[in-house]
Structure 1
Amino acid sequence: MVVSTLDDVIVALRAAGCVFAEDEAALLLDATAGDPARLDDLVTRRVAGTPLEYLLGWVEFRGMRVRVRPGVFVPRQRTAFLVERGLAGVPEGSRRACVVDLCCGCGALGLAAATELDARGCEVELVAADIDPIAVACARENLTPIAAPVFRGDLFDALPGDLRGRIDMLLANTPYVPSARVADLPPEARDHEPLVALDGGADGLDVFRRVAEGAAEWLAPGGTVLVETGTGQVDTACAVLVEYGLTPRVEHSEEHYATVVLGTRATESR
């Protein structure tokens, strides 16, 4: 494949089925900075199905460029709604907040939440964790500049013990695709992203159940866990939260095509 102009790239991407061919073409030209050989290579790889974000080395998330690398789950734009709902739960004027980004991937959710809370004048204690070593390395690149540690391990097992009972906002972008539906995912996800970040088990909620169980112990009184789900999973997810003593709430966003299930730990009586 030989491409040299914006129009050439647009035509190639359209032929490959890229819905936002014009936007992607502009980004690829900008990334290659006048290097025709590199442009040709990136376009060839994009046409073959490599996610655009892997080629660029970053994804835009809530107005920030967050580093990504091959083998790391690419945060979806709809997941910005999960962060939005988390931020809405921190009262204006709050001076401190403990935030955990569990199943953090590249760390985009925690980075966005911490950055926006800091802009409000709220001091954030942010910790992130993931079971995948590639994700942990990528998240460290993104979170080290804000002095947020990233740990590797299985859900709460990865977290420092002193966080138990202190987490105000628990962001958990758990996998929620039922195992039988993974094969139906777009090739960009199915063929390039880690299965552990996609496959949620028989009904898609296996990891969610484990997060809900742990959240009941790790959240601060009044703290909230937020998880993205499919619309057909809401009733089951809410029942799980109730089972573990958390008060459920469901938020939908038509703008983001997103559904978030929240579970709040009761405030301890005085």
Structure 2
Amino acid sequence: MSVEPLSPATLVTRLRAAGCVFAEDEAELLLATARHPAELAAMVERRVSGLPLEHVLGWAEFHGLRVAVDPGVFVPRRRTEFLVRQALAAADASRPVVVVDLCCGSGALGAALATALPLAELHAADIEPAAVRCARRNVAPLGGRVHEGDLFAPLPRRLRGRIDILTANVPYVPSDEVGLLPPEARDHEPLVALDGGSDGLDIMRRVALAAPGWLAPGGTLLVETSERQAPDALTAMSAGGLHARLVTSEELYANVVTGVREPS
């Protein structure tokens, strides 16, 4: 049975009625992605039911890349592009570097870094099997490897003391605030990618304490946090023995704490 094509105006109206703030932009993306009217109709139904746009499209735009994002996988946020920029500023693109992306989700950070650092040896890791499968789709074509497990545990032992750039976009929402997140995140993204414990910094502290044993001399750990959590995140980074500092972007409302292992 044929499906009547949705006009752009009708599509915008439906999306706006469902609460989509950027209905015009979303309509344009849906129209450009759907291969035929039936697929468009199905995509619209999934979107108005509350599924994140990126899960409906099957991809997200991140740092100039189109990153595959499967259902049930954390959607990379545009503010995290600021973390990528800070990581690139800390990297020496003229020589081979070891890059590790922990809590990698879709692998968006690793893919962005590998694209900008063609001499990089890239590793990524996540505890969620769905995220690992998705990340492999994004990272493997760039020569990277994705490992399944908790933080550093699945990484090859040979990387100890050799990591130049370590990104960890850890979950940092306090447990009692997860229920306040927008339904798109709360209902469709894995809890393990959102819940950061009582004050939101449980995972970040674990990473900061273990990082010095994995970083190369002069290597940098970068994590994203909230403005409210930044002072405690700096303290946690320093407690791990790293030289910590905070960099912010008012434009993206992004806060990144960096920690450098002092050169020996």
- TM-score bracket, shorter-length normalisation: over 0.9
Shift, 1:2, TM fit: 7.3
TM-score, length basis structure 2:
0.97
Q: Secondary structure at the match of 1:156?
A: coil
Which of residues 7, 30, 34 in structure 2 aligns to 1:28?
Answer: 30
Structure 1 residue 106 displacement after superposition: 0.7
Q: Say whether 1:244 aligns with 2:240.
A: yes
The normalised TM-score by structure 1 is 0.95
How far does residue 156 in structure 1 lie from its aligned partner after superposition?
0.5
Give the Cα–Cα distance (whole angstroms) in 1 for the partners of residues 95 and 242 of structure 2. 25
Cα deviation code 1:84-129 (max 9, x no counterpart): 00000124x63111100100001000110110122xxxx1010000
CA distance change for structure 1 residues 103 and 3 in 2, over 3 Å: closer, same or farther? same
Whether the 8 Å CA contact 1:177–1:201 is kept in 2: the answer is yes
Say how many residue pairs are matched.
262
| Structure-to-structure mapping, 1:205-224, within 5 angstroms | 205-224=201-220
Q: Which residue of 2 aligns with 1:19?
A: 21
User: Aligned to 2:117, what secondary structure does the other structure show?
Assistant: helix
3-state secondary structure, aligned to 1:134? helix
Q: Which residue of 2 aligns with 1:8?
A: 10
Q: Corresponding residue for 1:179?
A: 175
CA offsets 1:151-189 (integer angstroms, 9 cap, x no match): 001101010000000000001000000000000000000
Q: Summarize the alignment of residues 81-120 of structure 1 with structure 2, pairs less than 5 Å apart.
A: 81-91=82-92, 94-118=94-118
Q: Distance in 2 between matches of 1:3 and 1:215?
A: 54
Alpha-carbon separation, structure 2, partners of 1:85 and 1:148:
20
Q: Distance in 2 between matches of 1:131 and 1:163?
A: 19
Match of 1:38 in 2: 39
1:3 CA drift (Å): 6.3
Q: Which runs of 5+ in 2 are unaligned?
A: none
CA distance in 1, matches of 2:153, 2:136: 18
- What is the distance in 2 between the residues matched to 1:125 and 1:41? 40
- The correspondence for 1:160, drawn from 156, 159, 178, is 156
Residues in 2 aligned to 1:156 and 1:29: alpha-carbon distance in whole angstroms: 41
Whole-angstrom CA distance in 2 between matches of 1:27 and 1:166: 41
AA matched with 2:84 = V
Which structure 1 segments of 5+ residues have no match? none
> 2:154, 2:227 → 1: CA distance?
29
AA in 1 matched with 2:259: G
What is the distance in 2 between the residues matched to 1:2 and 1:174?
A: 44
Large movers: runs of 4+ above 6 Å:
none
Q: Sequence identity, in percent?
A: 59
Residue type at the aligned position of 1:68: V
2:61 match: secondary structure: strand
* SS state at 2:152 partner: helix
Match of 1:199 in 2: 195
Q: Which shifted more, 1-10 or 53-62?
A: 1-10
CA RMSD in angstroms comes to 1.2
3-state SS of paired residue (2:120): strand
| AA aligned opposite 1:184 | L
User: For 2:5 and 2:257, how far apart are their aligned partners in 1?
Assistant: 45
How far apart are residue 201 of structure 1 and its match?
Answer: 0.2
Distance of 1:40 and 1:245 partners within structure 2: 54
Distance in 2, matches of 1:23 and 1:100, equals 34
Structure 1 residues 3 and 191: CA distance shift in structure 2, 3 A: farther
1:124 to 120, 130, 134: 120
* Residue aligned with 2:101, SS: strand
CA distance in 1, matches of 2:168, 2:10: 41
1:228 shift after superposition: 0.2
